[in-house]
């Protein structure tokens, strides 16, 4: 017999390390042709950080995204980054990139100001131009200013940025502290179909809502939400790294024996809802959501299974064997 159930789970997730520190650095170099080189130490592991960090640099400089090249080839040439973990890169390195780009832009404004008969503070930049904020018709090409600075005025257009959250001391009497850069929130609804004869669980629908602060690149955010949803589904129903823990017996050694979801396992209905509740200190309000997307599927799926067949499973993955044993126990 096949029975359906619906489950809901909610989560909160911090960005960055607790207690302070958590350093990211960046520097931006503007070339004579107006292109910019962005140097970071953060590693893109598929989440799209090189894209969003380049977007931030381009936005601050007022140039097209395509004019920015990102460099993070190795620790010999890259500035410091504490690492790609704790969902911190967009937030921490993003703050460093914004600061570096603004410093480089300020040098360009100093160069452009005499030509525009304005003070550097009165200038702005967008669409490849530097212009007077209150009189946009008075403008000069970004490339012309970059060329003028590098070649004729012998200025290096280099900006530096650093993000390191101040240490949060603990109150010795109450234990109160402020350990996290910012906090993000999530909720997920899951609909499942449970076969009580075989113990198989099929996820039919997933609706995921995530507070991302500010969505720098909405398409990448949706990709992270969907990818995390499928990853969390795999952990909930399939992935069992140590099936005979604590002994290594039967431990998978490759992807032939370590089962993960494939295209045929993805729910037919998936919906990603982006909620923007800006962080007060994140770049463009951004928060980190990378890891949180994989946290909510398991409790939502387990809750949906309970709704369908009335048993709670307290160990994942919820394999057919575990589910059938739980059903047998409930009937006995």
Q: Supply the pLDDT for residue 249.
A: 80
Domain membership of residue 175 (yes or no) is no
CATH number of the domain bearing residue 72? 3.30.365.10
Nearest to 285 by CA among 184, 212, 183, 213: 213
- Spatial neighbors of 254 by CB under 8 A, at least 6 apart, are none
Rounded-to-integer distance, Cα 165 and Cα 169, Å: 12
Q: How many domains does the structure of the chain reveal?
A: 2
Helix-strand-coil split of the chain, %, nearest 5: 35, 25, 40
Q: Which residues of the chain have pLDDT under 70?
A: 18-21
Instruction: Report residue 61 as tokens.
Output: 């400089």
Domain identity same for 93 and 106: yes
Enter the pTM of the model: 0.91
Domain membership of residue 150 (yes or no) is yes
pLDDT digits (tens, 9 = 90+) for 32-71: 999 999 999 999 998 899 999 999 999 999 999 999 999 9
Domain identity same for 37 and 146: yes
Q: Catalytic residue at 291? A: yes
* CB-based burial, 217-243: b 16+ in 10 Å, e otherwise: eeebbbbbbbebbbbbbbbbbbbbeee
Single residue among 100, 134, 165 that ends a domain in this structure: 165
Domain identity same for 205 and 319: yes
Q: Supply the pLDDT for residue 24.
A: 95
- Catalytic residue among 60, 121, 291, 315, which? 291
Instruction: Report residue 295 as tokens.
Output: 């946290």
């Amino acid at each position: 017999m096949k029975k359906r159930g619906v489950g809901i789970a909610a989560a909160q997730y911090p960005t960055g390390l607790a207690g302070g520190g958590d350093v990211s650095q960046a520097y931006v170099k503007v070339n004579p042709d107006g292109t910019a080189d962005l140097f970071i130490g953060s590693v893109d592991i598929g989440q799209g950080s090189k894209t969003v960090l380049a977007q931030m640099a381009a936005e601050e400089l007022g140039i097209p995204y395509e004019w920015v090249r990102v460099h993070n080839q190795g620790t010999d040439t890259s500035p410091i980054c504490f690492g790609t973990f704790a969902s911190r890169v967009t937030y921490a390195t993003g703050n460093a990139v914004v600061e570096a780009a603004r410093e480089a832009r300020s040098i360009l404004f100093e160069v452009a100001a005499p030509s525009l008969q304005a003070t550097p503070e009165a200038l702005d930049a967008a669409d490849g131009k530097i212009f007077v904020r209150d009189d946009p018709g008075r403008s000069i090409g970004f490339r012309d200013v970059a060329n003028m600075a590098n070649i004729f005025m012998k200025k290096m257009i280099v900006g530096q940025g650093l993000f390191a959250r101040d240490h949060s001391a603990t109150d010795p009497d109450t234990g109160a502290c402020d350990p996290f850069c910012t906090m993000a929130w999530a909720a997920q609804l899951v609909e499942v179909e449970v076969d009580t004869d075989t113990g198989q669980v099929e996820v039919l629908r997933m609706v995921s809502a995530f507070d991302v602060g500010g969505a720098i690149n909405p398409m990448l955010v949706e990709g992270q939400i969907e990818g995390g949803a499928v990853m969390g589904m795999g952990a909930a129903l399939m992935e069992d790294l140590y099936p005979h823990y604590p002994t290594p017996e039967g431990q998978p050694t490759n992807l032939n024996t370590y089962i993960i979801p494939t295209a045929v396992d993805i729910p037919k209905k998936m919906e990603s809802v982006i909620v923007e509740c800006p962080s007060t200190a994140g770049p463009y309000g951004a928060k980190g959501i990378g890891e949180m997307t994989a946290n909510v599927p398991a409790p939502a799926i387990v809750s949906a299974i309970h709704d369908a067949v009335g048993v709670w499973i307290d160990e994942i993955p919820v394999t057919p064997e575990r589910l059938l044993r739980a059903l047998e126990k409930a009937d006995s």
